């Protein structure tokens, strides 16, 4: 069977690709695991990296907002993981680009699935940015979507599209509402949440880092390892497991910027670590302050979705899974 990952050159896209290759199979239209014969990684550039030289992989570079490109990409796919997006601060800074990629691109993916007529499984990544304004101490499965940014609006619209295309029988879709993924490898980007990874990643590779928010700023985080587990579980569960909303809010652990900084020392070992420099950015602070300060998803727990035990486990996962690759990137 053919599987497509949009945003396949990104951190989570490549993580998921390696997991799919290792498993070798994924639940298909039969409801049973079927061998993966083709895994297409689509992004603005070609995906590369350790473990991606498998004969089953095809990398493709292109524009998710080009309907003809996406139509050809999705043709014949039994599963699409739709991760491609402009990140939060980038979508807020460039209104047109955000809607072109995050809304038009999503619609093109869904339309391509509809045109194929095979009702593929679609897993769409949404975000806590779908919430905003006056929020309870912890958002739950019943908290309404009230986005306060363009990115949050685009992700919310994407959720409703996935719901409607599923209702009409064009796809079997699930929207997974993610907390902040920590720790990501790579370089800092324009995401308003990028500091949550940078504050650990950069010092542990010997580099100084600037944190744009105050030390008491809260972020709800989930490790990449648990996130990939969640993608696989969300894909493989029966179609009716998520109810008519077709959305799942993932739980995470609540940490502050200062707690992230403190974790560096506990896991430094014999490494020379960099310093955290606190340089307040009011625009980034405003975006982060508008996000949920906690998550309480009974649905995710009941369906068996797991979270990290604590922040130290998150850091240990990064050191075990990704630190060597990050050090090579820094050296290059």
Annotated catalytic residues are 151
Q: At a CB cut-off of 8 Å and minimum separation 6, what does 96 contact?
A: none
> CB–CB of 203/264 below 8 Å?
yes
Ramachandran bin of 172, using left for φ above 0, alpha for ψ from -120 to 50, beta for the remaining angles: beta
Cα gap 22→14, rounded to integer Å:
12
Looking at residue 100, the DSSP 8-state letter turns out to be I
Looking at residue 309, the DSSP 8-state letter turns out to be S
Cα gap 81→5, rounded to integer Å:
5
Closest among 217, 223, 224 to 287, alpha carbons compared: 217
Q: What share of residues in the chain are helix, strand, coil (percent, to 5)? A: 40, 20, 40
The b/e string for 240-259 (b: 16+ C-beta within 10 A; e otherwise) is: eebeebbbbbbbbbbbbbbe
Closest among 151, 161, 157, 259 to 215, alpha carbons compared: 259
Phi first, then psi, for residue 144 (nearest 5°) are -70, 155
For residue 179, give both structure tokens: 């907390």
Q: What's CA 268's distance to the chain center, in Å?
A: 27
């Amino acid at each position: 069977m053919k599987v497509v990952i949009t945003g396949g050159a990104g951190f989570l896209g490549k993580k998921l690709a390696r997991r799919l290759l290792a498993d070798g199979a994924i639940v298909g239209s039969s409801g049973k695991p079927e061998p993966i014969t083709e895994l297409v990684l689509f992004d603005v550039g070609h995906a590369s990296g350790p473990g991606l030289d498998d004969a089953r992989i095809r990398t493709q570079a292109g524009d998710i907002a080009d309907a003809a490109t996406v139509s050809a990409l999705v043709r014949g796919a039994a599963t699409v993981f739709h991760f491609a997006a402009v990140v939060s601060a980038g979508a807020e800074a460039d209104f047109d680009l955000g809607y072109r990629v995050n809304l038009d691109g999503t619609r093109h993916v869904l339309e391509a699935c509809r045109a194929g007529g095979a009702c593929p499984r679609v897993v769409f990544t949404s975000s806590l940015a779908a919430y905003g304004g006056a929020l309870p101490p912890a958002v739950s499965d019943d908290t309404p979507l009230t986005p306060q940014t363009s990115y949050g609006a685009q992700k919310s619209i994407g959720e409703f599209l996935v719901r409607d295309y599923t209702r009409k029988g064009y796809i079997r879709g699930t929207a997974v509402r993610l907390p902040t993924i920590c720790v990501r490898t790579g370089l800092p980007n324009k995401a308003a949440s990028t500091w949550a990874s940078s504050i650990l990643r950069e010092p542990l590779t010997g580099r100084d880092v600037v944190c744009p928010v105050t030390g008491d700023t809260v972020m709800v985080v989930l490790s990449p390892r648990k996130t990939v587990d969640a993608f696989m579980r969300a894909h493989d569960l029966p179609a009716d497991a998520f109810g008519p909303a077709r959305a799942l809010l993932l739980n995470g652990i609540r940490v502050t910027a200062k707690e992230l900084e403190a974790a560096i020392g506990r896991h430094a070992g014999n490494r020379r670590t960099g310093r955290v420099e606190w340089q307040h950015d009011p625009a980034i602070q405003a975006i982060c302050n508008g996000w949920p300060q906690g998550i309480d998803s009974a649905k995710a727990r009941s369906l068996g979705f797991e979270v990290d035990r604590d922040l130290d486990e998150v850091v240990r996962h990064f050191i075990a899974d990704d630190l060597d690759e990050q050090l090579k990137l820094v050296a290059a």
